[in-house]
Structure 1
Amino acid sequence: MTSPTAPRQAGPPAQVAAPSRAPKHRDFKQALARATPPAVPGPARVAAQPAIARGVTPAAIPAVARAVPAGQTQAAALRPWEAQANAAFRQRIAEAERSAEHVQDGYALRNPVSGALGRYQFVPVALRDIGWVDAEGGWTEAAARHGVSDEAGFLASPAAQEAAFSAFLARQETILDRGGALASAGATITALDGTAITLTEGAMVAAAHRRGAGTLARYLTHRTQTPDAPLTAAQRAAFESVEHRLRGFADVAYVSERPGNRMLARRAGPAA
Structure 2
Amino acid sequence: MRGQSGSTALGRYQLLRAPPIDAGWRDRVTGNWTARAHAAGVGRDADFLANPAAQEAAFNDVMRENDRQLRVNGAMRFVVQDLPGLRGETVPVTEAGLAAATHREGANTVRHYLEHRAANLSPPASVPGQRGDLSRFNEVERRLRAFAQTPYERMSP
Question: Scaled by the length of structure 2, what TM-score is found?
Answer: 0.89
Tell me, yes or no, if structure 1 residue 207 matches structure 2 residue 105. no
RMSD of equivalent CA atoms: 1.6
Q: After TM superposition, what 4+ stretches of structure 1 lie above 3 angstroms from structure 2?
A: none
Higher relative contact order (CA 8 A, sep 6+): 2
Structure 2 partner of 1:122: 15
Give the fraction of aligned pairs with identical amino acids, expressed as a percent.
39
1:124 deviates by 1.3
1:258 deviates by 3.0
Paired residue for 1:153, among 28, 47, 51?
Answer: 47
Check whether the contact 2:66–2:107 (CA below 8 A) recurs between aligned residues.
yes
Aligned residues: 150
Structure 2 partner of 1:110: 2
What CA distance in whole angstroms lies between the structure 1 residues aligned with 2:30 and 2:42? 16
1:111-136 CA distances to partner (integer Å, 9 max, x unpaired)?
22212101101111122111111121
What CA distance in whole angstroms lies between the structure 2 residues aligned with 1:204 and 1:165? 16
What CA distance in whole angstroms lies between the structure 2 residues aligned with 1:196 and 1:239? 14
- In the alignment, structure 1 segments of 5+ residues that lack a partner are 1-108, 260-272
Question: Scaled by the length of structure 1, what TM-score is found?
Answer: 0.53
Check whether the contact 1:188–1:198 (CA below 8 A) recurs between aligned residues.
yes
1:46-104 CA distances to partner (integer Å, 9 max, x unpaired)?
xxxxxxxxxxxxxxxxxxxxxxxxxxxxxxxxxxxxxxxxxxxxxxxxxxxxxxxxxxx
Paired residue for 2:25, among 124, 132, 136?
Answer: 132
- In the alignment, structure 2 segments of 5+ residues that lack a partner are 128-132
Tell me, yes or no, if structure 1 residue 254 matches structure 2 residue 146. no
1:187-212 CA distances to partner (integer Å, 9 max, x unpaired)?
11110111111110011011011111
1:233 deviates by 2.6
Higher strand share: 2
What CA distance in whole angstroms lies between the structure 2 residues aligned with 1:138 and 1:216? 27
- Structure with greater Cα Rg: 1
